[in-house]
């Protein structure tokens, strides 16, 4: 272990103090610990480990602080369909959320023939097709909280044709 040493060079085993919502699993062969949190829990937690030598002596670690953050989530964004020469908007907050209520920021992939602007303050995406252009494009959005990110489904943008006046 790089956190505990025994001056006699004895092989040590480890235990932990169990905390609410956090579960450490220690492998005393590999000296590796895996830590998991309850599925619907987020926040700050602590864990403490104890090293034991074969002769009954032991030492405790400091409390180790763990911050558990949930990844932002998306619901499926449906096909977005509108007519050429019309501006279309999508409110991303209608399709994204953060379990622990962190503020989200967004990015979006770019596509040909459609100018995309994003206002992270309002969470509104504005889609402006080129003049007289119609067709199908595909984009993805990414939501970020302070620590994690998640990508939306691939969203179909379908700009439909309209009969233009003769010139």
Contact indicator for 42, 14 with CB cutoff of 8 Å: no
pLDDT of residue 165: 81
Q: Name which of 68, 4, 5 is nearest 36 in CA terms.
A: 68
Q: Average pLDDT of the chain? A: 92
> Given strand 114-119, what is the order of strands in its sheet?
88-91, 124-129, 114-119
pLDDT in tens, 84-121: 999 999 999 999 999 888 999 999 999 999 999 999 99
Distance, in Å, from the CA atom of 59 to the CA atom of 120, rounded to the nearest integer, reads 49
Calpha distance 111→34 (Å, rounded)? 41
pTM of the model: 0.72
48 with 26: CB under 8 angstroms?
A: no
């Amino acid at each position: 272990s790089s956190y505990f040493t025994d001056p006699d060079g004895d092989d040590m085993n480890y235990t932990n103090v169990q905390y609410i919502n956090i579960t450490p699993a220690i492998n005393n062969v590999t000296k590796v610990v895996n830590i998991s949190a309850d599925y619907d829990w987020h926040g700050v937690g602590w864990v403490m480990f104890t090293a034991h030598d074969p002769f009954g002596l032991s030492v405790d670690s400091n409390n180790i602080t763990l911050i558990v953050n949930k990844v932002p989530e998306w619901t499926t964004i449906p096909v977005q369909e509108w007519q050429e020469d019309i501006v279309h908007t999508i409110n991303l907050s209608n399709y994204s959320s953060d379990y622990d209520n962190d503020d989200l920021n967004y990015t979006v992939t770019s596509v040909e023939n459609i100018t995309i602007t994003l206002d992270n303050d309002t969470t509104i995406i504005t889609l402006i097709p080129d003049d007289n252009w119609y067709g199908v494009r595909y984009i993805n959005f990414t939501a970020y909280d302070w620590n994690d990110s998640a990508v939306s489904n691939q969203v179909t943008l379908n700009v439909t044709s309209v009969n233009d006046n003769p010139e």
